Amino acid sequence: MACESQPAGVRTPNGKKPTVGWREWVGLPCLGIQEIKAKIDTGARSSCLHAFNLKRFEKEGRPFVRFEVHPIQRSHAQKVEIESPVLEERKVRSSNGHVSVRPVILTQLELLGARWDIELTLANRDVMGFRMLLGREALRTRVLIDCGRSYFGRRAARSKLRRVDR
């Protein structure tokens, strides 16, 4: 699980920004998550990861959080346990207008073969359709979005996703 910094720029061989669809398979290698389905949400400023059993604590005088993630939608079969330093606590307004204070962590996103640092808020998204939202700050200046397509990075990577949106 290598988490060294990498250049933030993502470019295709012809030097243009790559295109992503309205949903993509992404990785969070520093958190031990090889792949998780993320909804691309330009209406959201910040990105959010599904987290449950969230416990805040201090370690060496710094705020930390320990939590668990079910990375596969509609499944509790796989569980990843994660511990991470807390970057800050942030007020976030949900799509229904409810404001909550969420811990924010810094980690690396892997998308289309490139990696860069992103901030993730943590919230229980069990009732939501996607375990992760990628907000506009994580994608700004790096990719173009084709809202009519999906899975540019890993089409048909999973047997359940053989159908390609057109």
163, part of any domain: no
49, part of any domain: yes
Q: By residue range, what is the domain housing residue 112?
A: 26-144
164, part of any domain: no
- Number of neighbours of residue 141 by Cβ within 10 angstroms: 8
Average pLDDT estimate for 98-118: 94
Residue 128, domain CATH: 2.40.70.10
Domain count, the chain: 1
55, part of any domain: yes
For strands 19-20 and 144-145, give the pairing. parallel
Cβ within 8 Å of residue 131, ≥6 positions away: 36, 37, 38, 49, 50, 69, 70, 71, 72, 73, 125
Tens-place pLDDT, residues 22-70: 999 999 999 999 999 999 999 889 999 999 999 999 999 999 999 999 8
pLDDT band, residue 7 (cuts 50/70/90): low
42, part of any domain: yes
Residues written for the chain: 166
Q: What is the mean pLDDT of the chain?
A: 84
159, part of any domain: no
CA distance 106 to 5: 12
Instruction: Return the HEC string of 5-55.
Output: CCCCCCCCCCCCCCEECCEEEEEEHHHCEEEEEEEEECCCCCEEEECEEEE
